[in-house]
Amino acid sequence: MRFLTPFLSELGLLGLAVVVTAKQLDYSQYVNPFIGSEGPFPGQGYGGGDIFVGGARPFGVAKVGIDTTAANWSMAVLNGGWTPDGNVTAITMMHESGTGGAPKYGIIPQMPLTSISPPVNVLDNLTYNQPRVGQDTASVGYFKTQLQSGVEIELSSSRHAGIIQYGFPEGEKHVLVDVSHYLPGSPSDPNGQFYVGGEIQIHDSGKSYSGYGTYIGGWNNGAPYTIYFYGEFDTEPDTAQVFRGPNTDPMRGYQGLANGEPSFPVYGNLSDKATSGPMNDRVGATFSWSSDAESTITSRVGISFISVEKAQAYIESEIPSWTLNDTVEAAIKEWNEDVFSGIQVPIDDTANLTNVRLLYSSLYFIHLMPSDRTGENPLWESDEPSWDDFYTFWDIFRCTVSFYHIFQPTYYESMIRGLIDIWRHQGFLPDGRSGNWNGLVQGGSDADNVLADAYVKGLRGSVNWTDGYAAMKTNAEVTPYNTYDPTDFSASTKEGRGALVDWLELGYVSQDRSTRCISRTVEYSLNDFAVSQVAAGEMPSEQEKYLRRSAGWQKIWNPEVESLNFTGFLAPRFSNGEFNNSGYDPLYCYGCEWDSYTYEGVPWEYSFVIPHDMETLIDLMGGPETFEARLDLMFKPNTSVQQLGPNGAGISTLMNIGNEPDFATPYLYNYINKQYKSVLRSRELGYQYFKDAPYGVPGNSDAGAMNTWLLWQMLGIYPLVTTNVYLISSPWFPDLNMTINGDKNLRIIAHGLESGYFVQSVKINGKVWERNWFEHADLMVDGGVIEFELGDEMVQWEKGDVPPSPGHLEL
Ligand SMILES: *[C@@H]1O[C@H](CO)[C@@H](O)[C@H](O)[C@H]1NC(C)=O
Ligand SMILES: *[C@@H]1O[C@H](CO)[C@@H](O)[C@H](O)[C@H]1NC(C)=O
Ligand SMILES: *[C@@H]1O[C@H](CO)[C@@H](O)[C@H](O)[C@H]1NC(C)=O
Ligand SMILES: *[C@@H]1O[C@H](CO)[C@@H](O)[C@H](O)[C@H]1NC(C)=O
Ligand SMILES: *[C@@H]1O[C@H](CO)[C@@H](O)[C@H](O)[C@H]1NC(C)=O
Ligand SMILES: *[C@@H]1O[C@H](CO)[C@@H](O)[C@H](O)[C@H]1NC(C)=O
Ligand SMILES: *[C@@H]1O[C@H](CO)[C@@H](O)[C@H](O)[C@H]1NC(C)=O
Ligand SMILES: *[C@@H]1O[C@H](CO)[C@@H](O)[C@H](O)[C@H]1NC(C)=O
Ligand SMILES: *[C@@H]1O[C@H](CO)[C@@H](O)[C@H](O)[C@H]1NC(C)=O
Ligand SMILES: *[C@@H]1O[C@H](CO)[C@@H](O)[C@H](O)[C@H]1NC(C)=O
Ligand SMILES: *[C@@H]1O[C@H](CO)[C@@H](O)[C@H](O)[C@H]1NC(C)=O
CB 492 within 8 A of CB 480: yes
What are the helix (H) ranges across 230-352? Answer: 308-318, 324-338
Beta strands in 234-281 (DSSP E): 239-245, 266-267, 273-276
- Rounded CA-CA distance 592/599 in Å is 5
Residues in the chain: 811
- Rounded CA-CA distance 808/811 in Å is 10
Q: Which of 464, 478, 462, 466 is nearest to 426 (CA)?
A: 478
Q: Which atom of ligand 10 is nearest to the CA of 588?
A: 5
- Rounded CA-CA distance 762/717 in Å is 12
Q: Who lines ligand 6 at CB under 6 A?
A: 344-346, 735, 737, 747
Q: Which of 71-80, 184-193, 246-255 has the lowest mean pLDDT?
A: 246-255
More confident residue, 64 or 270: 64
Q: Which of 777, 779, 709, 746 is nearest to 343 (CA)?
A: 746
CB 573 within 8 A of CB 511: yes
pLDDT at site 509: 98
What is the DSSP code string of 175-216? EEEETT--PPPPTT-TT-EEEEEEEEEEEGGGTEEEEEEEEE
Ligand 8 site, residue 467, Cβ cutoff 6 A: yes
CA–centroid distance, residue 8 to ligand 5 (Å) = 11
Q: Taking phi first (over 0 means left), then psi (-120 to 50 degrees means alpha), and beta for anything else, what does residue 803 get?
A: beta
- Rounded CA-CA distance 308/179 in Å is 14
- Rounded CA-CA distance 121/261 in Å is 12
- Rounded CA-CA distance 258/460 in Å is 54
Ligand nearest to the CA of 44: 1
CA–centroid distance, residue 325 to ligand 5 (Å) = 6
Q: Which of 700, 486, 526 is nearest to 600 (CA)?
A: 700
- Rounded CA-CA distance 149/132 in Å is 9
Task: Write the pLDDT tens digit of every residue in 669-683.
Answer: 999 999 999 999 999
CA–centroid distance, residue 778 to ligand 6 (Å) = 20
Ligand 11 site, residue 637, Cβ cutoff 6 A: yes
In the predicted model, is pLDDT for residue 22 greater than 90?
A: no
- Residue 701 backbone phi and psi in degrees, to 5: -75, -15
- Rounded CA-CA distance 511/528 in Å is 20
Q: Report the side by side order of strands in the sheet with 222-233.
A: 137-139, 142-146, 152-157, 161-168, 295-304, 222-233, 208-217, 193-203, 273-276
In the predicted model, is pLDDT for residue 10 greater than 80?
A: no
Q: How far is CA 25 from the centre of its chain?
A: 27
CA–centroid distance, residue 184 to ligand 1 (Å) = 17
Q: Which of 350, 366, 349 is nearest to 358 (CA)?
A: 366
- Rounded CA-CA distance 26/16 in Å is 18
Nearest CA to ligand 4 atom 1: 269
Task: Write the pLDDT tens digit of every residue in 566-608.
Answer: 999 999 999 999 998 888 999 998 888 999 999 999 999 999 9
Q: Which atom of ligand 7 is nearest to the CA of 352?
A: 1
What is the DSSP code string of 505-550? HHSS--TTTSSSHHHHHHHHHHHHHHHHHHHHHH-GGGHHHHHHHT
CB 304 within 8 A of CB 377: no
In the predicted model, is pLDDT for residue 426 greater than 70?
A: yes
Nearest CA to ligand 5 atom 5: 329
- Give the end-to-end CA distance of the chain in Å, rounded to a whole number: 61
> DSSP assignment, residue 743?
T
Identity (one letter) of the amino acid at 481? Answer: Y
Burial of 799 (0-12, 13-18, 19+ CB in 10 A): exposed
Q: How many CA atoms lie within 13 A of 524 on its CB side?
A: 31
Ligand 7 site, residue 688, Cβ cutoff 6 A: no
CA–centroid distance, residue 353 to ligand 7 (Å) = 8
Q: Which atom of ligand 9 is nearest to the CA of 565?
A: 1
Q: Which of 357, 340, 317, 345 is nearest to 20 (CA)?
A: 340
Nearest CA to ligand 11 atom 4: 638
Nearest CA to ligand 8 atom 1: 464
Nearest CA to ligand 2 atom 2: 74
Neighbouring CB atoms inside 10 A of 96's CB total 26
Q: Once rounded to an integer, what is the mean pLDDT over residues 770-783? A: 98
Task: Write the pLDDT tens digit of every residue in 171-183.
Answer: 999 999 999 999 9
- Rounded CA-CA distance 629/318 in Å is 57
Residues 6+ apart with CB under 8 A from 738: 342, 343, 344, 406, 407, 715, 745, 746, 747, 748
Ligand 8 site, residue 470, Cβ cutoff 6 A: no
Show the CA angle centred on residue 504, arms to residues 501 and 509, nearest 5°: 65
Task: Write the pLDDT tens digit of every residue in 483-510.
Answer: 999 889 999 999 999 999 999 999 999 9
Q: Which atom of ligand 3 is nearest to the CA of 68?
A: 14
Nearest CA to ligand 2 atom 3: 74
In the predicted model, is pLDDT for residue 133 greater than 50?
A: yes
In the predicted model, is pLDDT for residue 5 greater than 80?
A: no
Q: Which of 217, 222, 65, 253 is nearest to 145 (CA)?
A: 65
- Rounded CA-CA distance 462/125 in Å is 48
Ligand 10 site, residue 583, Cβ cutoff 6 A: yes
> How is domain 31-338 classified at the CATH fold level?
Beta-galactosidase; Chain A, domain 5 (2.70.98)
Q: How many CA atoms lie within 13 A of 610 on its CB side?
A: 31
Pocket test for ligand 9, best of 562, 563, 564, 565 (most atoms within 8 A of CB): 565
Ligand 7 site, residue 687, Cβ cutoff 6 A: yes
Q: Which atom of ligand 11 is nearest to the CA of 637?
A: 13
- Rounded CA-CA distance 585/590 in Å is 10
Ligand 8 site, residue 124, Cβ cutoff 6 A: no
pLDDT at site 273: 93
Q: Provide the percentage of residues in the chain whose pLDDT is more than 90.
A: 91
More confident residue, 253 or 356: 356
Ligand 5 site, residue 29, Cβ cutoff 6 A: no
Q: Taking phi first (over 0 means left), then psi (-120 to 50 degrees means alpha), and beta for anything else, what does residue 204 get?
A: left
CA dihedral 471, 474, 479, 485 (to 10 degrees): 0
- Rounded CA-CA distance 79/99 in Å is 6
Q: Which atom of ligand 2 is nearest to the CA of 72?
A: 1
Ligand 11 site, residue 638, Cβ cutoff 6 A: yes
Pocket test for ligand 6, best of 735, 743, 786 (most atoms within 8 A of CB): 735
Ligand 7 site, residue 765, Cβ cutoff 6 A: no
Q: Provide the percentage of residues in the chain whose pLDDT is more than 70.
A: 96
Q: Which atom of ligand 8 is nearest to the CA of 424?
A: 5
> DSSP assignment, residue 644?
-
Ligand 7 site, residue 354, Cβ cutoff 6 A: yes
Q: Who lines ligand 3 at CB under 6 A?
A: 67, 69, 89, 125-126, 181, 184, 262
- Residue 270 backbone phi and psi in degrees, to 5: -105, -45
pLDDT at site 271: 81
Ligand 9 site, residue 564, Cβ cutoff 6 A: yes
Q: What's the predicted TM-score (pTM) here?
A: 0.95
Whole-number average pLDDT of the chain: 94
CA–centroid distance, residue 701 to ligand 11 (Å) = 27
CB 224 within 8 A of CB 196: yes
- Rounded CA-CA distance 220/438 in Å is 7
Ligand 7 site, residue 127, Cβ cutoff 6 A: no
CA–centroid distance, residue 46 to ligand 7 (Å) = 27
What are the helix (H) ranges across 373-516? Answer: 393-396, 400-407, 409-426, 447-456, 465-477, 500-506
Task: Write the pLDDT tens digit of every residue in 81-125.
Answer: 999 999 999 999 999 999 999 999 999 999 999 999 999 999 999
pLDDT at site 249: 87
CA–centroid distance, residue 410 to ligand 1 (Å) = 45
More confident residue, 649 or 249: 249
Nearest CA to ligand 10 atom 12: 580
Question: How does residue 692 score in pLDDT terms, banded at 50, 70 and 90?
Answer: very high
Q: Which atom of ligand 11 is nearest to the CA of 652?
A: 1
CA–centroid distance, residue 463 to ligand 8 (Å) = 10
CA–centroid distance, residue 3 to ligand 5 (Å) = 17
Nearest CA to ligand 6 atom 2: 737
Task: Write the pLDDT tens digit of every residue in 209-262.
Answer: 999 999 999 999 999 999 999 999 999 999 999 999 999 888 877 765 556 788
